Amino acid sequence: MLDDTFCAMRQSIIDGAPDTASELAQRTVAAGIEPLDAINNGYVPGMQAVGEQFAQGKMFLPDMMASAEAMRAAMAVLDPELKKLGTERPMAGVVVLGTTKGDIHEIGKILVGTLLSANGFRVHDLGVDVAGEKFAAKARELNADIVGVSALLTTTMRNQRSVVETLVKAGLRSQVKVMVGGAPVTRKWAEEIGADGYAKDAMSAVGLARTLMEQKAQLVTEPV
């Protein structure tokens, strides 16, 4: 039964059908199904299928845009449900989030932001196509603990490196942890560019953010 619902969710993304995606999400909420289960088992697999079909030339840009629209419609329903959890928790840390320069993919980053908020982090989302300087300026303004940088294209991954470099130049690197993610990003890449961590999905990003906060706290309390 649940499998059928997840299948229908996946299909609503492939079909680029926002109304169906939204209706299924509303039914999920009404039935008391965990929003994160719906996202991970229904909608995200839909997005993955779309990416595969696009790569094989079976889907085109307008189809991918329609799928993104359907994903947004589902998230509009599930987002508030996920965020509700965060209001009851103590503040876990301040995160500045954005998709790197030249890149307009935002769905994964928004999901990361939602789950961080749901877990008590105060999140400032800079949006998409964000230059390193903007990350640094906002991190300074908010005295951020973590900067999270998303990249979905192999061509824009290198801009994650420039964010790290810009934070170094701005003299902020010692106080701000950097976590990176996005479909083409790997742990190895994160290490190569001097980021503090890589998360493969939004739930891992929450775990990583907690670990990074612990590391920061240790730095503060370590005897000299």
Q: Which residues of the shown chain bind ligand HCB in the complex (CB under 6 A)?
A: 44, 47-48, 50-51, 54-55, 61, 64-65, 67-68, 102-109, 111-112, 148-150, 152-154, 179-184, 199, 201-202, 205
The CB-of-137 to ligand HCB minimum distance in angstroms stands at 18
Q: What's the distance, Cα to Cα, between the start and end of the chain in Å?
A: 59
Residue number of the CB closest to ligand HCB reads 108
Closer by beta carbon to ligand HCB, 5 or else 112: 112
In angstroms, the Cα distances linking 71 to 74, 94, 204, 220 are: 5, 26, 20, 41
Closer by beta carbon to ligand HCB, 44 or else 77: 44
The CB-of-224 to ligand HCB minimum distance in angstroms stands at 31
Cβ(120)–Cβ(89) below 8 Å = yes
The CB-of-64 to ligand HCB minimum distance in angstroms stands at 4
Q: Three-class SS of residue 131?
A: coil
Closer by beta carbon to ligand HCB, 61 or else 224: 61
Closer by beta carbon to ligand HCB, 93 or else 148: 148
Closer by beta carbon to ligand HCB, 80 or else 127: 127
With vertex at residue 160, the alpha carbon angle to CA 174 and CA 51, rounded to the nearest 5 degrees, is 145
Contacts of 181 (CB under 8 A, 6+ apart): 108, 112, 148, 149, 150, 198, 199, 200, 201, 205
Cβ(40)–Cβ(78) below 8 Å = no
Closer by beta carbon to ligand HCB, 5 or else 66: 66
The CB-of-96 to ligand HCB minimum distance in angstroms stands at 10
The CB-of-90 to ligand HCB minimum distance in angstroms stands at 22
- 3-state SS record for 175-191: CCEEEEECCCCCHHHHH
The CB-of-75 to ligand HCB minimum distance in angstroms stands at 9
Q: Three-class SS of residue 92?
A: coil
